[in-house]
Structures are given as C-alpha cells and as structure tokens.
Chain A
Amino acid sequence: MVPLNHYLYLSAILFSIGAVGVFTTRNAMIIYMCIELMFNAVNLTFIAFSKFLNNLDGHIFTFMVMTVAAAEAAVGLAIIISMFRNKETVNVDEINLMKG
C-alpha cells in the first residue's frame, strides 16, 4: 500500500501546477481549467485522508466540492460568453472595464 505521504505530495504538485497556470496564462478558458485542476488536487487529498482514517466524511466533502465546481463552471462559462460578446476577446489582460 502506498503511504499517505505520496498522495499528499502528488496533490501538492497538481495544486501548484494549477496555481502557476492561473498566474501565467492569459486565456480565460485555460484559467478556468486550471481552477478545475486545483479542485481535483484538493479532492485527492480528501479521498486519501478518508481512506487512511477509515472515515467516509471525506467522500461527502468531495461530493460537495464537485457540486460547487459544476455550479462554478456553468456560471463562469456564461460570464466568459457574455464577456466575449462585448469585447471580442477572452484574454484577461485586455479586459480592464473595472480600472475606473
């Protein structure tokens, strides 16, 4: 059986890749995908702890995270669509409506 450490390392690596992606890409679609990747890294931690502590609560939490991720994806993509309709771009550095 693989020790708990290794699951936590893998999850940290995936989360960091997602965070770097959010900072470095400028396409809003890829930023959303990186956020999904970070959600998944957290889910892996929940499931690993759930298995090693022999407690099913982590599965319920993962279920809730998936619900929130689905809601976030629907609303976020709707925002991207309306943004694209107004500005003809999805690059986050060209969208500066709130600059004042």
Chain B
Amino acid sequence: MFYILGAGAVLSALSMVTNKRPVSAAMSLIVTMFCLAGLYVLLDAHLIAALQIIIYAGAIMVLFLFVIMLLNIQEKEGRLAGHKIFLQFSGIVIVGYIFIKVVKLIGGSNLPARMEGSIKGFGTTSAVGEMLFTDFLLPFEIASVLLLAAMVGAVILAKAKID
C-alpha cells in the first residue's frame, strides 16, 4: 500500500512540474495531496490526514483554482528561454547534487529503532487536541494571531486601489 501511494504521489508531482497549464498542474497537486493523506492514515495520523484533505485539497487548492480562473492567464510557453536556460540547468544540477547527498545520508545513518509501547489513542483528535491545548497552548494562540494578520494583509493587498 505504501508503495502504491508513494508512486502515485511522485508521478502526480512530476506531472505537476512538467505541466504548462496551471489548471492541470493544480489538479495533479490535488492527487498528490490525496496520496499523502493516505500515507498519513498508514502512519496512524488520522487527524492530520483529515486536515490534509480539508485544508490542502479543499481550501488552499480551491483558492488556487479560483485565482487561476479569475486572472484568466494567457497560455504562453511555460519554460524559460535564451540565456536563462543556463540558470535553469544549474538550478537542476544543484538540486540533484543536494538530493544525492541526502539519499547517501539517509542510507548511511543509524536511524532510531522503533520505540516500543504505544500512546493511548495515538494520532486521534482527542490525543492531539489535548496536547495542543495544554503543552502547546502558546504556539496555538500565536498561530491564530498569524492567521488574523494574513487575512488582513491579503485583504489590503488585493484591494483595487489603496487610498
């Protein structure tokens, strides 16, 4: 099951990057989000899997599609051209180098063995919520202030004319 979902996530991510049209790219990204939500369920993260589908595949991607359709972007050639090809190529080389280093690091390191025993209700809403409202109460409140600030900022930025 892991390999099916992982292959689905990687293939749809590739189709997102290679796609020229923003709408098809957004659809591929939604498929990636759903595959990742499946992986979260395999890892017993039920609340995060539900949030992944509601927030990412639901809210954020609807926002993206809404903006794409609002702007009605003219489809042009999606790649950089001319002297910028060199910059693009060196970007790919740098990312590839870092990727190879990371893979070697993962392969050669002694990852921690699996811990024994289990927390009661691991990954459920009640367990995560209890932590969120006791140990992590301050970060939770700061996150709410962040969302308020982002909302005000988005409204001001998207306003037609600043007086």
Q: A90-B73, A91-B76 are in contact. Are A70 and B147 (CB under 8 A)?
A: yes
CB of B47 within 8 A of CB of A59, answer yes
CB of B55 within 8 A of CB of A23, answer no
Tell me the total A-B contact number using a CB cutoff of 8 A: 221
CB of B91 within 8 A of CB of A17, answer no
Neighbouring B residues of A33 by C-beta, 8 Å: 16, 25-26, 29, 64
Question: Scoring B residues 108 to 134 as 1 if CB is less than 8 Å from chain A, else 0, what string do you get?
Answer: 000110111111001100011001100
Question: Scoring B residues 126 to 159 as 1 if CB is less than 8 Å from chain A, else 0, what string do you get?
Answer: 0110011000100100010011011101110110
Number of residues from B at the complex interface, CB < 8 A? 82
A43 to B48, CA, bound (A): 10
One of A12, A20, A37, A59 near B102 (C-beta < 8 A): A12
A80 to B116, CA, bound (A): 48
One of A1, A12, A54, A66 near B99 (C-beta < 8 A): A12
One of A7, A37, A47, A57 near B29 (C-beta < 8 A): A37
Number of residues from A at the complex interface, CB < 8 A? 69
Does A5 lie at the interface of the complex (its beta carbon under 8 Å from any beta carbon of B)?
A: yes
A2 to B42, CA, bound (A): 10
Neighbouring B residues of A44 by C-beta, 8 Å: 36, 39-40
CB-CB nearest in chain A for B23: A29
* Minimum C-beta distance from A27 to chain B (A): 6
Question: Scoring A residues 73 to 88 as 1 if CB is less than 8 Å from chain B, else 0, what string do you get?
Answer: 1110111111011000
Neighbouring B residues of A12 by C-beta, 8 Å: 99, 102-103, 106
